[in-house]
Amino acid sequence: MTQLECLPTRMPRQFGQWWAGLRQQYFPTRGATLINLLLGVLSLAGLGAALDWGIFSAAWLPGGPEICAAHSGACWAFLWEKWQVILLGAFPRNAMWRPLLGVGVVVIVLVTLARLRWPARTSIVMLAVAFAGLFALLDGRPLGLEQVEMVRWHGIAVVTFLGVFSLFAAFPVGILLALMRVDGPPLLSWLATGYVEVVRAVPLVTVLFFGVFVLPLLLPPSLKYPPLLVTLLALILFNAAYFAEDIRGGLQAVPRGQYQAAESLGLGYLARIRCIILPQAISVAIPALTNTIIGAFKDTSLVAMVGIFDLLATTRMAFSDPVWQRQAPEGLVIVGLLYLGACWAIARHSRTMERHVAGWLGNGR
């Protein structure tokens, strides 16, 4: 009935509906109208000020710090001057194409896999290749290029290296921990519970300090451990505990009947878990996993505290240059926008994945 009425939508009617909707939303009562108008004016003023700062009164062209004094708004000359420092820190200038290409390859692989909805085997192979490729490009030796020491890997190279690959390596560990905790024999279940609870009770910063200061002491003394690799290990161990908790929730949401049905089909334990239980558990856990992934990706920025130059640390490096000290807001705004964009993309993709799995989750019930 209502659908039929709505179907022939002509311009005046649509406008009328639009106006009615607008009135209902913004001007329901006299008081709300007044406050809405007041706030509207205020937010327009705020938006105007922001635009004025970022665009109209900004110094757009490259130049020295003296150009900033001439403009009242943002000084994008800072970015012209320092974009290499912000993106790549102290990576050798003549080899800048290497991290940029490596990060580009990783991003393309991630987007492709997201489009393909993460087919398990392809994902493992492609991510391993991407990781090896990034490592080879950054290090240089495997490709016969000039070596760049790991301590000079900065900026987006570090964010990609740590943020992306710590998450992917932690995922299988998290699955293993969750399985151990939920239906492992008592000893394994107890061990996994202890590990997950202890790791979740301490701050990431202390785990990173543990990685940098204590982990090298626990490993054989004959080898050298660059801080970046040790940090990667610490991040993997840390994120695995959080993943384990999310997947455990998913495992507990899989109905008992699914386990019994799989068993009655005569499937072995691994086949049961791999083909029947895990797909459902991970699908249920997508919202929780998304929260963890976004949180962990953001928290990669904490590696700056143990002396690793991630994007935030390189930005700080850029605006701690005495002549550009006033340009801190510009740098922070740019980094913030990069993080906002990345996290927004993850959140959007998670909604796509939720719709994607809704089909088989609905059938399972």
Which two tokens mark 268?
Answer: 């072995």
Q: Is 316 in the site for another protein (CB under 8 A)?
A: yes
Q: Is 204 in the site for another protein (CB under 8 A)?
A: yes
Q: Which of 144, 186, 266, 322 binds another protein (CB under 8 A)?
A: 186
The total of other beta-carbon atoms located within 10 Å of residue 205's CB is 13
Residues in CB range of 285: below 8 A, 6 or more apart: 246, 247, 249, 250, 253
Q: Is 301 in the site for another protein (CB under 8 A)?
A: yes
- Position of tokens 């989750």? 361
Q: Is 253 in the site for another protein (CB under 8 A)?
A: no
Q: Is 185 in the site for another protein (CB under 8 A)?
A: yes
Give me the least distance between CB of 70 and another protein, in Å please.
Answer: 19
Q: 71 exposed, middle or buried (CB, 10 Å; 0-12, 13-18, 19+)? A: middle
Q: Is 220 in the site for another protein (CB under 8 A)?
A: yes
The total of other beta-carbon atoms located within 10 Å of residue 79's CB is 17
> Which span sits near another protein by CB under 8 A: 5-13, 270-278, 302-310, 355-363?
302-310
Q: Which of 14, 17, 43, 352 binds another protein (CB under 8 A)?
A: 43
Q: Is 344 in the site for another protein (CB under 8 A)?
A: yes
Q: Which of 74, 234, 281, 312 binds another protein (CB under 8 A)?
A: 312
Query: How many whole angstroms separate alpha carbon 85 and alpha carbon 90?
Result: 7
Residues in CB range of 251: below 8 A, 6 or more apart: 178, 179, 182, 183, 277, 281
Q: Is 198 in the site for another protein (CB under 8 A)?
A: yes
Distances (CA, A) of 85 to 78, 104, 182, 271, 331: 11, 18, 47, 50, 11
**For binding to another protein (CB under 8 A), which residues are involved?**
25-26, 28-29, 32, 35-36, 39-40, 43, 185-188, 191, 198, 201-206, 209-210, 213-214, 216-221, 294, 298-302, 304-305, 312, 316, 319, 325-326, 328-329, 332, 335-336, 339-340, 343-344, 347
